[in-house]
Structure 1
Amino acid sequence: MELFTTAEYETDVYNFTDELIPDTTDYGSESSGLCNKEYVRQFSKSYEPPLYWIIFVVGALGNLLVVCIFTTVRNRLKTMTDVYLLNLAVADLLFLCTLPFWSTNAAQGWVFSQIICQGVSSVYKINFFASMLLLTCISVDRYIAIVHVTEAHNYKNKRMLYSKITCVFVWVASCLLALPDFIFAKVKTFEFQPNSCVLMYSISDKNRTKILVFALQICVGFLLPLLVIVICYSVIIRKLMQARSFEKHKALRVIFAVVAAFVLSQLPFNGYLIIEAAQANNATITDCDVMQSLDMAGQIVKCLAYTHCCLNPILYAFIGVRFRKDLLSLIHRLSCGLGLVDNCKLQPVPKRPSIMSDTDITPVFSL
């Protein structure tokens, strides 16, 4: 841990808060020229811990059910989307395990070691990049399955192999992209203030490193996936509109929900990062009230972005009719195993298409 005095911190006091866990403590008084952020710190202390725990409980329950269904109710993964969904649930569970640490950090400061600070900081970015890349893979797979039905059916076995290779690439790429967070995460200790786990970028290079890290997250983690998703789903919508099916409007509703959830949960936070990157490049905002308002806004949009690990099981699994049937089957099995059901006889799961059929257009996003 490093001990920072007020004088040492004056060099970057007007920078925005650190991107992962906002550094909102009061490092001085107004008379010393520093912005007093005690109100922001109290706001974070009262608001973030309960919200983190809600996200943790809801997200853990949903993603654990996804993993259990894929590993128990079903004999094997049948489509590329099944593979991506399982990896997506694992990525979300990995991130959810870090939320108790961040809840503790917001409530009472960082009480853990430096290596844990580096670990949980990098795990967040691993989840961020892995989730966005996997959601992009799902949209591409749905595009192939719906728009190029014949080719998708003819090369089904090869596509399964490609999906596993793609998942390995996604995990490796996410770990590499998260390296800056592992390197720059530090436990900072200030005089008369609680410790804090934050990202400490070098100010000797005029914040170029910080700007580069933000640009990487915004472009690779949001803008590029969003572009691919919008293109894929635009073509899918056009294809479904041409299909003669009374259920096509249900399919369109789910597609719009998928895109809307992606944008609504990630756009505000990435917009905030753009402002923060601009501030790091040219610190034009020095008004204390404005800085406090932006700090609190950053905390809110960050928590909103974290909710994606709760939305994914709902949007990509639980709205599917087949998944709900598998969920009921899992509940039935658990009830039988616990002896809660009399005269229980476990029935084999009937063979049926996967959660998202590769050859049937309408049930792909069935409600």
Structure 2
Amino acid sequence: MNNLTGSLVTLLTTAVIPTEDYGSGSGTEDYDFITDTPCDKSSVRTFRKYYEPPLYWLIVILGSVGNLLVIWIYTNFKNRLRTMTDVYLLNLALADLLFLCTLPFWAADAMKGWTFGTAMCKGMSALYKINFFSSMFLLTCISVDRYVVIVQTTKAQNSKDLRLAWSKVICGFVWLLAIVLSIPEFLFSRDKKDFQGNHFCTMVYWNNEHNRTKILVLALQICMGFCIPLLVMIYCYSIIIRTLMKARNFEKHKALRVILVVVAVFILSQLPYNSMLVVEATQAANTTITDCDQAQDYDIVTQIMKSIAYMHSCLNPFLYAFIGVRFRKDLIKLFYKFGCMSRSKSSKTYGHSRSSVMSDADSTMALSL
């Protein structure tokens, strides 16, 4: 964190001339990548107008329902927060909900441009990035906790109370680190107007040699928001898979499928957009896209990849919570309590619930089925 703070301070003292990031942001800027030559991007704005709002609202609705159900369960069952994974899941649901709160603003931006001013631009951009980073870090913490519980079972059982206490400290550190990593959004986001009078919320970087500011910001997002979480998840889940393969339990195959789905969804949703960020960082270092048509295609593809990445926030409750036996049982209890399900249906559902090799009385591991 000290190195990151030092880098940001260095950026503050080495450049003072702003330069618009016309290769990112809303994707509606009427300039190409290297010059101030006008480039008509009305086709990009038209695409965003009809593509993003309905998709973003669908993500908001589905994600809100799933994450609110997770929070509903935790608030109604006071003894629910008994493991590290419980604490991480609750914080993950909160992070995803706050992230979803920003999508209506980007949907409005796609329809009629940014009409909320620079202060809201900074606020929404920072809120988006805080919860993006916190979600990625919490998913990483969940994979590490699964590794400890499954691979180091004895150690995990002997240190349950200590690990539960540390989970709260870790969550506090995760949120603090996410806030630090969102500092560029506070510094560089602003409401800009193009030569046609269209407003957009975008990053406006300082003009220093070789666009070092922009490259650093993109590198932070790619490394901290994708590469490191992915590497940790692959390592932890590969060891878990090896452990499960040695287990003599017929339901271990279900647990293996859950792991594969979790990793596959993470890669398929995050890799395409982060690949586009790598292209953008490459552009900042050594511009290769100079044609207006290519710039338009890049903007459209980036918007598609970004929307795919956003879908992960509405999938998290189902990937990490509701596939667990205890979560499903608690949800059924709440439905019955509030009259949403009959007693006969509740009993029938309970009768068909089975625990797998991963479920136990003290864990809400999402590997349980």
TM-score (norm. length: structure 2): 0.86
Matched, 1:47 2:51: yes
Worse overlay, 196-205 or 230-239:
196-205
1:327 corresponds to: 331
1:139-173 CA distances to partner (integer Å, 9 max, x unpaired)? Answer: 00000000010010001000001101000000000
Pairs within 5 Å for 1:98-247: 98-247=102-251
**Cα drift, residue 362 of structure 1:** 12
1:197-239 CA distances to partner (integer Å, 9 max, x unpaired)? Answer: 1111122343110000000111111101111100000000000
Matched, 1:292 2:263: no
**Cα drift, residue 179 of structure 1:** 0.6
Q: Secondary structure at the match of 2:338?
A: helix
**Cα drift, residue 286 of structure 1:** 0.6
Q: What is the identity percentage for the equivalent residue pairs of Structure 1 and Structure 2?
A: 57
Q: Secondary structure at the match of 1:197?
A: strand
Counterparts of 1:175 and 1:72, CA distance in 2:
29
* AA aligned opposite 1:139: S
1:261-320 CA distances to partner (integer Å, 9 max, x unpaired)? Answer: 111111001100000000011112111221111110000000111111111001001112
Question: Between Structure 1 and Structure 2, how many residues are aligned?
Answer: 339
* AA aligned opposite 1:265: S
* AA aligned opposite 1:237: I
* AA aligned opposite 1:86: L
1:313-350 CA distances to partner (integer Å, 9 max, x unpaired)? Answer: 010011122211111111112228xxx979xxxxxxxx
Contact kept in structure 2, 1:79 and 1:358, CA below 8 Å: no
Runs of at least 5 residues in structure 2 that lack an aligned partner in the other structure: 1-17, 344-354
1:313 corresponds to: 317
Contact kept in structure 2, 1:146 and 1:359, CA below 8 Å: no
Matched, 1:17 2:23: yes
* AA aligned opposite 1:226: L
1:27-77 CA distances to partner (integer Å, 9 max, x unpaired)? Answer: 69xxx9422211111111111111110111110110000000011035340
Q: Secondary structure at the match of 1:35?
A: coil
Counterparts of 2:132 and 2:262, CA distance in 1:
17
1:78 corresponds to: 82
Q: Secondary structure at the match of 1:366?
A: coil
Contact kept in structure 2, 1:25 and 1:38, CA below 8 Å: no
* AA aligned opposite 2:321: A
Q: Secondary structure at the match of 1:207?
A: helix
Worse overlay, 285-294 or 157-166:
285-294
* AA aligned opposite 1:58: L
**Cα drift, residue 359 of structure 1:** 7.7
Counterparts of 2:88 and 2:366, CA distance in 1:
15
Matched, 1:35 2:56: no
Counterparts of 1:204 and 1:213, CA distance in 2:
13
Q: Secondary structure at the match of 1:244?
A: coil
Q: Secondary structure at the match of 2:198?
A: coil
Counterparts of 1:253 and 1:193, CA distance in 2:
52
TM-score (norm. length: structure 1): 0.86
